[in-house]
Structures are given as C-alpha cells and as structure tokens.
C-alpha cells in the first residue's frame, strides 16, 4: 500500500481534560478523511483503549499486538515489522489499538533514553504508507501525550463548550509551547474545535468569542463546531462513524465541514 499524496501529516488530538470528544473527533475526522480518499491510520494512545472500543474492539485488553507492544519493541531497540498490530475498520481507516498495558509503558518511558521520541521513531516507519496519521491522546499531559506531540505536525484541541476551563486550556497551550521550543520546533496548531455544542444555549457563542479573544491571534479556532447529539454517542457505542450511523444528521454535516477544513489546511 502506498501513500496517495506527498508527505504524511501527523495530527495529535489532545486535551488533558477527559470527556471533551477527543476520541470521537479522532474517529469521525479519520473516517471522514478516508471517505475523501485519503489513507488514514488512527493511533490509540490511551491505556483505556476508548478509540479501540469505538472501532468495534470488544475487549482491547485481550489483544496481543497493540501500541503497548510496539512501544516496548521500540524502547528495546527492536524493529517493528511492517503492518504489525494494525487493524482495518470496515469504513476504510486503519488503526493501531491500545489497552491497559500502555499504562506500564508510560511508566517505563520515564527512564528510557530519548524518551520523548519513542513514538516518533515508530511513526516514521509507518508514515510512508499514509496520508494522515491521527493520534488520539489520553486525558493527561504525561509522557505518552508528550510523545504524541513530539511526533506531530499539528495539534487539534477539542474543547467542550459547556464548561470552559480556561485554566486547563492555558496549561495545555503552555505545554504545547514548551514542546515546540525544546522538542518539536515544527509543531503547529491545527486549531481549537468546539465540541458538544448545545444549540439550546448561548454558551457556544460566548465561549467561541472568549476563546477567539484570548487565543485567536496565536491559535486558529475552527469556524465550524460540533453539535451535542445523541447520534454521535450512539455511533461510537456501535463502533461506527457518524457518517454510517446518521449520514443526514447535523453532526455528520458538522464533521464533513471539519474534514473539509482540515483538508484545506493542507500540510
């Protein structure tokens, strides 16, 4: 399998707050890009394995080949065979699952040599086969998230519209800027994406204005936002994308626009 474009773009989906739609955005953006004809690999970088679950894996903890075993091989200086651990979803994306073993990997990373670059080393081996690699980060700013940001071209920050934690966002941006300065100077922002926007409230507009006012000069904020929709949660519970589950709904429309925006950003 060869990559259809020039160079692969690596996007990290990150926010240290849980439940802000990181995994859901990874799945729907990834499948949306695949529907647009791109070769896409999703990486589950969360020991909870939620991305793997959203891809239809019932019991991630029973998997033999995961990101945890890949990271262990890289840390041990072993070569990872082409295609090792990678699974294919029926909607055309490929993914590398994760499970609870990744928690132990995060601990051993702390004392590994070049510990920030282990994931990057792996990504460089698979990148020639893809147009996009999307990394679904865990809800922390620990070593695994740092590894994802060290390997990424851009970071997309999903922000839950209901409760804006400006302090949390400050901390996330400060971490990203530190990584940019010391570890990955080429790291850029894909943008801040407002998620789970409840159309019945005015929060979204206020929050969007607040975010633009505070960060808009430094960080792009997606024009489009993702609505709060029970269809989105149903789709991930069924191991499918919103495009398969409710193709005509508002959420599918919003994710299509997001895919277009990301495609328009190019590399």
Residue 147 binding target from Mg ion, ligand ADP, none, CB below 5 to 8 Å by type: none
Stretch in the footprint of ligand ADP (CB under 6 A) among 13-21, 30-38, 97-105, 149-157: 13-21
Q: Is 50 in the site for Mg ion (CB under 5 A)?
A: yes
Contact flag: residue 50 with ligand ADP (CB under 6 A): yes
Helix (H) or strand (E) run with residue 10 in it:
strand 9-13
Query: Quick one: 24 or 145, whose CB is closer to ligand ADP?
Result: 24
Question: From Mg ion, ligand ADP, none, which one binds at residue 207 (CB under 5 to 8 Å depending on kind)?
Answer: none
Strand blocks (E) in 101-253: 132-137, 154-160, 188-195
Among the listed residues 3, 5, 18, 73, the single contact to ligand ADP using CB under 6 A: 18
Of the candidates 225, 262, 230, 223, which has an alpha carbon nearest to the alpha carbon of residue 249? Answer: 230
Q: Which one, 50 or 94, has the nearer CB to Mg ion?
A: 50
Which H or E run includes 179? helix 166-182
13, 154 Cβ separation under 8 angstroms: no
Q: Where are the alpha helices (DSSP H) in 183-239?
A: 203-215, 230-237
Considering only residues 1, 19, 104, 124, which one is a binding residue for ligand ADP as defined by CB under 6 A? 19
Residues 117-156 binding ligand ADP (CB under 6 A) are 139
> Using CB under 6 A, which of 147, 236, 241, 256 touches ligand ADP?
236
List the single partner that 236 binds among Mg ion, ligand ADP, none, CB under 5 to 8 Å by kind.
ligand ADP
Residue 245 is a binding residue for ligand ADP (CB under 6 A): no
Q: How far is the CB of 75 from ligand ADP (least distance, A)?
A: 25
Measured from the CB atom, the residue of 127 and 226 that comes closer to ligand ADP is: 226
Give the residues lining the site for ligand ADP (CB under 6 A). Answer: 18-24, 50, 139, 195-196, 226, 228-229, 232-233, 236, 251
């Amino acid at each position: 399998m060869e990559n259809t474009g020039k160079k692969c773009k690596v996007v990290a989906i990150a926010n240290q707050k849980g439940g802000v739609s990181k995994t859901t955005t990874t799945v729907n953006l990834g499948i949306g890009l695949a529907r647009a004809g791109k070769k896409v690999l999703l990486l589950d970088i969360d020991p909870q394995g939620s991305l793997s679950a959203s891809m239809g894996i019932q019991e991630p903890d029973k998997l033999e080949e995961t990101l945890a075993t890949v990271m262990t091989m890289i840390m041990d200086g072993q070569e990872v065979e082409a295609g090792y651990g990678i699974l294919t979803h029926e909607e055309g994306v490929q993914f590398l699952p994760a499970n609870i073993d990744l928690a132990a990997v995060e601990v051993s990373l702390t004392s590994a040599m070049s510990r920030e670059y282990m994931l990057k080393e792996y990504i460089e081996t698979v990148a020639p086969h893809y147009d996009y690699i999307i990394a679904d980060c865990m809800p922390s700013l620990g070593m695994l998230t740092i590894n994802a940001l060290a390997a990424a071209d851009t970071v997309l920050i999903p922000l839950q519209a209901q409760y804006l934690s400006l302090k949390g966002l400050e901390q996330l941006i400060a971490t990203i800027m530190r990584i940019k300065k010391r570890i990955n100077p080429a790291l850029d922002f894909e943008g801040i994406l407002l998620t789970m926007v409840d159309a019945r409230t005015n929060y979204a507009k206020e929050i969007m204005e607040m975010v633009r006012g505070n960060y808009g000069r430094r960080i792009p904020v997606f024009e489009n936002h993702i609505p709060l929709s029970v269809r989105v949660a149903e789709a991930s519970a069924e191991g499918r994308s919103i495009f398969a589950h409710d193709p005509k709904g508002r959420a599918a429309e919003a994710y299509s626009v997001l895919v277009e925006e990301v495609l328009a950003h190019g590399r």
